[in-house]
Amino acid sequence: MSTVTWRKARRSDNLGGNCVELAQLGEDVGIRDSKDPDGPKLLLALAAFRALLADLKQP
């Protein structure tokens, strides 16, 4: 995964709070904690990632 381009989520900030980075990996999406880039990563199918986003946006 050293050649993967990670990008910080728009709602993440530099204040040490919740920092999430995403990477497009073919038909999948990688998710990691920007404060721990060498730590664990989550890999979701694109459909599962979209479902997760929809759930997170619910009030």
Residue ranges per structural domain of the chain: 7-56
pLDDT in tens, 19-55: 889 999 999 999 998 888 899 999 999 999 999 999 9
| pLDDT computed for residue 16 by the predictor | 62
Prediction pTM value: 0.78
Q: Is 55 helix (H, G, I), strand (E, B) or coil?
A: helix
Return the number of other C-beta atoms located less than 10 Å from residue 51's C-beta.
Answer: 12
d(CA 7, CA 46): 16
pLDDT of residue 17: 67
